[in-house]
A and B are shown apart, each in its own frame.
Chain A
């Protein structure tokens, strides 16, 4: 069974994000970019399925600028077999991403799509569920444990208050939560090997998808800043301050 993994190029999670002075967005100039951490978990899970003989091929797809090919290379170095880069400019909304992924699913016929539960840039958390709906497939979001069978998958999901187990018929979409696995670091030989793996270049037009944003971003602003308050040295002072604030 083929496994498709969408990967997104985002600002590295360690970078302190700065809002542009003209409020049109955040400053991406000379900022370190990486693969969305939840997508790394998705790649890792797919590669493990391949290593266990449950997946025949792992395909990494990225929808983004030309540099998103680096993100695909990262996935290839972790063990994905080939990549598809759908080149776009500017922001692409999750619904448009899901439509492109649906067209790729129609062409590639994967048995499973493993996606990150959210991207840490727009924090939308929509793409996997939208893709499942457009495909008419079931989904298992926020996966904590995945057990892949021939025709169905059993997934433990992280929900508010605990864990839920569902069984979904294949093909299906699974989205990853943090505790699904710990992604590997690509070894140098694998990074070298990844350079030879194929990446197909496409455009949204190849899939007949219009990626024009449907929502209008009026501005991006700084959140209200919190000021630090007092520092104290003893528990008594600490409790006294909290009583003063009326919260104890």
Chain B
């Protein structure tokens, strides 16, 4: 028996999230297979085949999977599930969308967002927005697990697995992809950026967020936001970091004008270094920040931008 990892990709590139999920899958102690469901996704399959620890890549290349929906992915994964004792996906919006359907159909409880494989049947996962860590043991039967990718290192591209083709599974025909609007940005993706600079309610306006974007461009950083900033309409929701948004763990997280509500901390407290700029010395963010700058944030970020320009950072 082996472990099946559902690949995350856009038909051209394999997402880093998959390399991290493969690392978690390898810790289950059985062989790892990766399922790439897409259309004209040969390059993705090849990238998956290179990940260390992967024994086999299964490719379902069909127009049906150009934009995989939960319903079509469910039938495909179930058609393969018999051969596996564990099925893993990254806890991205895509993995979260698909995986519980598979678990329900296999009549097995899902273990969501594991952050550690303690033993092949025991896992740690955050609950209450990360304010508590639950250690949970799976029962007999198949395991269905989503993986919080910030907690695992990506598998190295040093392998060479075989690639096997499978036919598309039945289309339930109950849902249809109509379109998507993806934010276009030259900046790195929020969840995989090495540096994230995030703004909160203290930024006061959408205009002011542009100041953060300038610094982000200098640092090759992604821009994030607290829920308060999103609720105030300063930035779109896909910027949101926190319990109800994205979970990030960059090398450096710079929180600007973010007070530090527990729901926000849930999304960034595993960052390697946390820096905060806030004029309120008592802001809770300073209790967890490695470096805190107590200052007027507008003066500070303007000065910071100049200094970074001078240094050509």
Contact = CB atoms under 8 A, between A and B. Distances in A.
A236 B311 CA distance: 12
State the majority secondary structure of interface residues on B: mixed
Interface in A1-60: 11, 13, 16-17, 19, 26, 38
Contacts of A166: 69, 175-178
Nearest to A170: B174
B182 A162 contact: yes
Contacts of B182: 161-162
A130 to B, nearest CB: 4
Interface residues of B, number: 92
B272 A247 contact: yes
B74 A133 contact: yes
Interface in B155-177: 172-177
A163 interface: yes
A17 B132 contact: yes
A210 B251 CA distance: 45
A228 interface: yes
Query: Interface residue tally of chain A, by bracket?
Result: 35 or more
Contact of A214 (B109, B236, B251): B109
Nearest to A167: B176
A178 interface: yes
B180 A94 contact: no
B138 A139 contact: no
Contact of A133 (B100, B133, B251): B100
Given A134-B104, A154-B178, A235-B293, A160 B191 contact: yes
Contacts of A88: none
Contact of A139 (B70, B113, B269): B70
Contacts of B133: 220-223
Contacts of B289: 228-229
Interface of B: 67, 69-71, 74, 92-94, 96-105, 107-113, 122, 126-139, 172-183, 189, 191, 195, 219, 227, 230-231, 236-238, 243-244, 246, 251-252, 262-263, 269, 272-275, 277, 281, 286-295, 300, 303-304, 307-308, 313
14 contacts: A120-B129, A121-B127, A125-B100, A125-B112, A133-B102, A159-B180, A160-B246, A166-B176, A172-B174, A178-B237, A223-B132, A245-B290, A247-B272, A247-B273
